Amino acid sequence: MDEIKSLLDGKRIGLFANHSALINQTHLLDTLLSLNINVVKIFGPEHGFRGQAADGAKISDEVDEKTGIPIISLYGSRRRLSKEDLADIDVLVFDMQDVGTRFYTYSVDMHFAMQTVAESNKKFVLLDRPNPHGDEVDGPVLDTAFRSGIGQNRIPVLHGLTLGEMAQMINGEGWLKDGIQCDLSIVKAKNYDHRMPYSLPIRPSPNLPNDHAVSWYPTLALFEGTWISVARGTDFPFQAIGCPDSTFGNFSFTPRSIEGISTNPPHLGITCYGIDLRNITPPKGLDLQYLLRFYYIVEDKESFFRSYFNLLAGTDVLMQQIKAGMSEDEIKETWKPDLDQYKKIRAKYLLYPDHSNE
């Protein structure tokens, strides 16, 4: 706490955080206020500052009921900080639990926040947290033609970084607009090692309720660009896959509207058939076998993919490879040159012991 206090004492603070910003089960905001840190305003991402909004729900500006501090939503009418937002602060503190996957939106939020902080000549303080996927690096590297709100930089689906390490990479590789540099300070996670198993103390977002879902998330999220359900609207999202066709499996579930979690899930009210993954050990890296299997089974292949799939994959090549009938091994072999280059870049920015080359 001494390091945090020394960075923030006497400064006007903006806090970009959500419900996962906990220190010993106490929210970061409450901790900062107890240290007499002057928190001027709060910025809330997808799911809101207190993490109570459903996936994709638009959120309006509000006032934090507990503290009376104004909250500016960055998942409503706009997604980015403005210079005006930062005019009355000196330091932006960023603290959210990432899950080590490119298309999880918090890392994109961080990228855009760093951009505005740099353009405003303010300071960016990041409170770092472990990556539950450790040093796993896998998947296609983003083609910049497919930049979107779920991917901005040339990193793979599983990037093997904490947000602190990623922030260093964004600065070091000149990935902010016009190569501008952000005045960055990182408060490291103590005693962390990339090989260390890490169980999240709180669900990072409403549809990742436990470690099992977090572990399956990189593999199953690709299905969100297809006709297949990942069991949103059930008690086990990202722990099953299925669709309204009994040829896909003998496990069944029926998505329903769940307030604050998934109000309008795919195939709402329709029985889906597929595979229950709750008792299957999650893969290390990205597992394409289920995606390939379901595509092979489906009769109407033209309707299987949605355009969103290419944004999730970060490229249009993976869809083409699947349609061409390539095997998982053949597809992964094409990723290798870009992944090898990425790993060299990644090594320059690591803050914690790493074992990915062992």
Range 339-355 average pLDDT:
95
Q: Taking the domain 2-187, which CATH number applies?
A: 3.40.50.12170
3 state SS of 118: helix
Q: Does the 211-335 domain belong in CATH 3.40.50.1100? A: no
Q: What is the pLDDT of residues 51-92, one digit of tens each?
A: 554 455 556 677 877 788 888 888 766 778 999 999 999 999
Could you give the CA distance from residue 44 to residue 142 in angstroms, rounded to a whole number?
Answer: 26
Question: What pLDDT does 47 receive?
Answer: 59
Q: What is the pLDDT of residues 205-252, one digit of tens each?
A: 889 999 999 999 999 999 999 999 999 999 999 999 999 999 999 999
Could you give the CA distance from residue 297 to residue 318 in angstroms, rounded to a whole number?
Answer: 18
- 237 or 259, higher pLDDT: 237
Phi first, then psi, for residue 253 (nearest 5°) are -155, 155
Q: Is 188 exposed, middle or buried (0-12, 13-18, 19+ CB in 10 A)?
A: middle
Q: Which residues fall within 8 angstroms of residue 173, CB to CB, at 6 or more apart?
A: 153, 345
State the average pLDDT for the chain.
93
Q: What does 208-267 look like in DSSP terms, one character per residue?
A: --SHHHHHHHHHHGGGGGBS-B--TTSSSTTSEEEES-GGG-SEEE----BTTTBSS-TT
Question: What pLDDT does 7 receive?
Answer: 94
Residue 345 has pLDDT above 60, yes or no: yes
Q: Fill in the DSSP letter of residue 303.
A: G
Range 341-354 average pLDDT:
96
pLDDT band at 272 (very low <50, low <70, confident <90, very high): very high
pTM, to two decimals: 0.93
Could you give the CA distance from residue 133 to residue 206 in angstroms, rounded to a whole number?
Answer: 19
| Domain ranges, ordered by start, for the chain | 2-187, 211-335
